[in-house]
Amino acid sequence: MARRLALHWQILIALAAAVAAGVFGGPDAAIGGLPLVEVYGFLGTIFLNALKMLIVPLIASSIIVGMVGMGDSAAVGRLGIRTLVYYTVTTLLAILTGLVLVNVFQPGIIGGRPAGEVLHLGTLPASVAQKVEGHGMGELVRVILRMIPENVVAAASDNGRMLAVIVFSLLFGFFMMRIPEPGAGTLKAFWQGVLDVMMGITDLVMRIAPLGVFGLVAKTVANTGFAAFRPLLGFFAVVVAGLLFHSAVTLPLLLRFAGGIRNPYDHVKAMAPALLMAFSSSSSSATLPLTLECAERRAGIPRRIASFVLPLGATVNMDGTALYECVAAMFLAQAYGLHMGFGTQFVVVLMALLTSVGVAGVPSASLVAITIILSAIGLPLEALGLILVVDRVLDMMRTAVNVFSDSCGAAIIARRLDAGNPTADATDAEPA
C-alpha cells in the first residue's frame, strides 16, 4: 500500500491550493449560484468548531493530569518557576526585537513625514469600535480578576476565559492528590481517561485538517486580497522581520543552548502540523489539541511536562502577539507624529508584556490589547483603523510564533528538568 503523505505536507498543499483559489476566484466566485466564499467558510468553521469543542475538557484534563504526574509540591514549584521564567524571558526578547526594528526602520514615517498625513487615517469600523471601547488601563485589573472566576462553570462556557479554567484546574490537580484513597486514585484514573479520549478525538479531527485549513485560508485570501497591503508594506515588513528573527534565530538558539537540542530543525519538523494549524486558524487555543499531540507524539516531550506547559502557554505565553503589539503601538505613534521618549517606550514594552498575558488565544485578540497601550500613551482609538487591513495576515503569522514559542518552552523545560533528575520517568512520552 502506498504510504500516506505526512500531515504537514497535506496541510502545506492545502495552504497553497487555498491561496490559489482565493487569489484567482476573488470574493465573488460562485458555482451554480453558490458563492465559493461561503463554501470555504463552511469547511473552515466545521473544522474550527470541532477543535474548539475540545478546548475546555482538554485544558482541564491535561493540566490536572500534568499536576498529578509531578507528584510533590516541590516538583510543581520547580516546573512552575521554570515555565514562568521561560515565558517572561522569551516574551521580553520578542518585544525588544520588535522595538529595535521599529526604531531603526521607522515604518510610520514615510518620506520624512508621519505616515498619518500621507495615508488617510482610517476610521474604525463599528464592529471593531464596539469590541475595543471601554478597554482602558482598568482592563489589566480585570484580567487579574478574571483569573479567579466567581463561577467556574460559567467561565468554562467561554473559550475566551480559559485563564480562569487553568487556575481552577491547577488548584484541582494540586489538591486532588492530597485527598485520601480511594478518592485520589479514582479521580486520577478518571482524568487520565478524559485526556486519552480527548486526544483520540483530536486524532479524528486532524484527518479533516487539510480540508479545514483550505477553507479557512481560501476565505481569508478571497476576502482580503493583496492589493490593500501596499501602503502598509513598511509596517508589515517590520512585523514579519521581527517574527522571523524571533522564530528563526532567538528561539532556535535557546533550543540549542538552553535546551541542549542539537538540531532545532528537528523540533520545528515535529511541530510542523501544529504550526501550520496555528497559521491557518489564527487561534492558539483552537490549535492546542494539535500542539499537545505533536509535542508528545512527534517531539517526544514527556506528557507530564507538555500537559502543564502547553495549555498554560496557549493562554499566557504570546511572543508573536507581544512583538506585534509593541511594533503596532510604536508604528501608530510614529504615524501620528508623537514623540516617543525612552520612558514612553518603556511603558509600551511593559504594557505589551502584561497585556500579552491577558490576551485570549483567539483571532484578532491583540486588537483590544493594542487599544490599551494606545490609551496609555495618549493616542486615539481610531488610530487602530490604520492597521486593520494587514491585521488578518499578521494574526496568522504571530499565532504560529506564539505556538512555536510554547512548544520550545516545553522542549527546553523537559530537557532541563530531566537533566537535573536523570531518574525522571520518560516513559510517559509516546514517541512517533
Q: How far is CA 115 from CA 109, 238, 328, in A?
A: 5, 15, 13
Q: Does 240 bind ligand ASP (CB under 6 A)?
A: no
Whether 47 and 282 have beta carbons less than 8 Å apart is answered as no
Q: Does 366 bind ligand ASP (CB under 6 A)?
A: yes
- The span from the CA of 197 to the CA of 191, in Å, is 10
Give the angle subtended at the CA of 292 by the CAs of 291 and 296, to the nearest 5°: 120
The window from 23-31, 102-110, 225-233, 364-372 that contacts ligand ASP (CB under 6 A) reads 364-372
| 140, containing H or E segment | helix 138-147
Nearer to ligand ASP, 139 or 395 (CB): 395
Q: Does 363 bind ligand ASP (CB under 6 A)?
A: yes
Q: How far is CA 367 from CA 324, 352, 387, 406, in A?
A: 10, 12, 10, 21
Q: Does 364 bind ligand ASP (CB under 6 A)?
A: yes
Q: Does 283 bind ligand ASP (CB under 6 A)?
A: yes
Selected from 361, 390, 408, 412, the binder of ligand ASP by CB under 6 A is 361
Q: For the CB of residue 22, give the shortest distance to ligand ASP in the complex, in Å.
A: 20
Q: Give the binding-site size for ligand ASP (rule: CB under 6 A).
A: 16
The window from 53-61, 73-81, 228-236, 393-401 that contacts ligand ASP (CB under 6 A) reads 393-401
The window from 171-179, 213-221, 354-362, 408-416 that contacts ligand ASP (CB under 6 A) reads 354-362
Selected from 97, 282, 315, 405, the binder of ligand ASP by CB under 6 A is 282
Q: Does 317 bind ligand ASP (CB under 6 A)?
A: no
Selected from 83, 169, 402, 407, the binder of ligand ASP by CB under 6 A is 402
Q: Does 395 bind ligand ASP (CB under 6 A)?
A: yes
Nearer to ligand ASP, 132 or 261 (CB): 132
Q: Alpha carbon 279 to chain centroid distance?
A: 9
In the block, which residue shows the cell 480559559? 162
Q: For the CB of residue 315, give the shortest distance to ligand ASP in the complex, in Å.
A: 9
Whether 393 and 224 have beta carbons less than 8 Å apart is answered as yes
Selected from 61, 169, 202, 399, the binder of ligand ASP by CB under 6 A is 399
Q: Does 358 bind ligand ASP (CB under 6 A)?
A: no
Selected from 82, 161, 304, 398, the binder of ligand ASP by CB under 6 A is 398
Q: Does 218 bind ligand ASP (CB under 6 A)?
A: no
- The span from the CA of 149 to the CA of 164, in Å, is 6
Give the angle subtended at the CA of 292 by the CAs of 287 and 296, to the nearest 5°: 150
Nearer to ligand ASP, 68 or 355 (CB): 355
Q: Does 318 bind ligand ASP (CB under 6 A)?
A: yes
Nearer to ligand ASP, 218 or 318 (CB): 318
Q: Does 291 bind ligand ASP (CB under 6 A)?
A: no
Q: For the CB of residue 285, give the shortest distance to ligand ASP in the complex, in Å.
A: 6
- The span from the CA of 281 to the CA of 31, in Å, is 25
Whether 352 and 322 have beta carbons less than 8 Å apart is answered as yes
Q: For the CB of residue 222, give the shortest distance to ligand ASP in the complex, in Å.
A: 20
In the block, which residue shows the cell 480578576? 145
Q: Does 362 bind ligand ASP (CB under 6 A)?
A: yes
CA atoms within 13 A on the CB side of 55: 29
Q: How far is CA 332 from CA 68, 175, 240, 379, 403, in A?
A: 46, 47, 17, 8, 26
Q: Does 106 bind ligand ASP (CB under 6 A)?
A: no
- DSSP-assigned letters across all residues of 324-390: HHHHHHHHHHHHTT----HHHHHHHHHHHHHHHHHS-SSTTTHHHHHHHHHHHHT--GGGGGGGHHH
Q: Does 334 bind ligand ASP (CB under 6 A)?
A: no
Q: Does 159 bind ligand ASP (CB under 6 A)?
A: no
Selected from 62, 202, 247, 321, the binder of ligand ASP by CB under 6 A is 321
Q: For the CB of residue 382, give the shortest distance to ligand ASP in the complex, in Å.
A: 20
Cβ neighbours for 424, distance < 8 A, ≥ 6 positions apart: 302, 417, 418
Q: By the criterion CB under 6 A, which residues form the site for ligand ASP?
A: 282-284, 318, 321, 359, 361-366, 395, 398-399, 402
